[in-house]
Amino acid sequence: MEKFNSIPSVCIVGRPNVGKSSLFNWLVGERRAVVVEQSGTTRDRLESVAHIDRYSVKIVDTGGYMIKTSDEISAQVKEQLYLAIEESTFVVMVTDAINGIVPSDQEVAAIVRKAGKPVMVVANKADNKNLENSAMEFYQLGFGDPLPVSCMHRKNIERLKEMIIAALKGKLVPYEEEKAIKIAVVGRPNVGKSSFINSILSKERVIVSDIPGTTRDSIDTFFVYDNDNYILIDTAGMRHKRKIKTVVDTFSMMRSEEAIKRADVVFLLLDSAEGITRDDMAILDMIEANGKAGLIVVNKWDLADEVRDVAIDEYRNALEYACARIRFFPIHFASAKTGKGVMKTLSMAKVLDTNLDIKVPTPFLNKLFEKNDPSVISISRRCKRPNFLYITQICSRPVEFSIFVNDSRAVQDVHRKFIENLLRDNLPLKGIPIRLKVKKSRKD
């Protein structure tokens, strides 16, 4: 079986706005990185496993290298670049065929040369024959013949893949499907998502800053813990639509929503000092709508303990008072800063992932119906009382049940809530969204 840690890593480096993220998307085979005409869009390392010619290759996108690093974010981007190169098996340096060699290219080349890693130069934006010829000037960087490519026109992308496979000969891992629990870590800006992931990984894998909006992409990190495979997906802070002001924010929100769709389990992080807000409830709606298992993680609990001395039971009751349906989800208290309670979330995610595959026998479900007939619920005399005939589970991931009645139009919301509560009280469905489909029985 394939192990993520043994997969060779190809690191994509270069100065800002040369097309690293576009190249990453083509190699991975999906639109994962945010691509806009704005320098510095990618800040963290973004990695994903690509399947190239029957092999698994980890592709790592990095933030654009800038000579001037006057701010904290730029400094951390540079640090992430150094770490990515150090951990890589092979380096692809991306340059701009239109602008030619610039001082930043020379500095990136010096960093890669010092690391002693095998490297090839890719001259992007070589959209025509003249630019292909001009790309040859990058030979001066000392890494052999540059490969002219065009991400816009997908020129020479397949050739690049062939060259990557050739460069990794002897280190390649044959692709073999292997189960990994995908966990998306979501929440509003600045609730500590990146710090939470760093605490799990026990290293500064993701850039952490007190500036809201640091993470732009959805970042996948593969790791093994206690003999189980996990994929952690760090996401940009999710805002209300009225708070989105830039194109990058729009794309980041789209990536966060896609991350929820790709995940098996979603951790919704709350700031202990702020409780649950309308934006958090909107994210909860998204988790339920996509049928994903959810865990509510109250982060920064070290601050709540010290400042307000709030008891866990009291805090949980306050959350349920503010948002009634949060009682359907497990609530866990943790501190990314101290590490307290962080690793336990992985065992909880494993349980949630297992429960997504629940398969409930139809006889068991109908015994529940016999003992707790939903039709006895008191409703308005003007409403027709439905006759519930039987219930059966129709699928898992998402967990969905079909309820057959004599008249589907007579089923009210109160009946649906009663049935959902009945199922939750008798099945391990804490944190698992339930879908109910009401159908008219043909036997009636």
Verify that 109 and 223 share a domain, yes or no: no
pLDDT value for 39: 39
- 269, containing H or E segment: strand 265-271
368 and 302 co-located in one domain: no
Identify whether the C-beta of residue 208 lies closer than 8 Å to the C-beta of residue 214: yes
Q: What is the pLDDT of residue 250?
A: 60
Q: How far apart are CA 248 and CA 20, in angstroms?
A: 16
Q: What does the pLDDT read at residue 414?
A: 86
Q: What strand order describes the sheet that includes 399-405?
A: 388-395, 399-405, 434-440
| CATH code for the domain in which residue 375 is found | 3.30.300.20
Chunked in runs of 10, what are the mean pLDDT values of the chain (444 residues)?
70 90 84 41 64 87 72 71 89 93 91 91 92 91 93 90 92 76 89 88 55 50 82 72 56 74 93 88 90 94 59 88 92 92 94 95 91 73 76 93 87 88 94 91 62
CA 164 to mean position of chain CA atoms: 26
167 shares its domain with 186: no
- End residue of a domain, out of 174, 202, 223: 174
pLDDT score, position 273: 87
Whole-number Cα distances in Å, 166 to 6, 118, 295, 436: 18, 12, 43, 52
- Give residue 243's pLDDT: 59
Q: Are 164 and 214 in contact (CB under 8 A)?
A: no
pLDDT at 69: 59
Q: What stretches of 61-102 show up as alpha helix (H) in DSSP?
A: 72-87
Among residues 336, 355, 374, the one where a domain terminates is 355
The total domain count for the chain is: 3
Q: What is the pLDDT of residue 125?
A: 93
Nearest CA to 219 out of 190, 177, 179, 184 is that of 184
Give residue 261's domain range. 181-355
Q: What gap in Å lies between CA 72 and CA 255, rounded to an integer? A: 24
Domain co-membership, 322 together with 224? yes
Q: Are residues 161 and 283 in the same domain?
A: no
Domain identity same for 165 and 272: no
Residue ending a domain, choose from 339, 355, 371: 355
DSSP 163-193: HHHHHTTTT-EE------EEEEEE-STTSSH
Compute the Cα dihedral for 172, 177, 183, 186 and give only its sign. Answer: positive
Give me the pLDDT at residue 307, please.
42
189 and 169, same structural domain?
no
331 and 230 both lie in a single domain: yes
Mark whether 292 and 390 lie in a shared domain: no
* CA-closest candidate to residue 151, choices 28, 11, 22, 10: 22
Please indicate, yes or no, whether residues 212 and 138 belong to a single structural domain of this protein. no
CATH number, residue 36: 3.40.50.300
Do 413 and 303 fall into the same domain? Answer: no
Do 324 and 426 belong to one domain? no
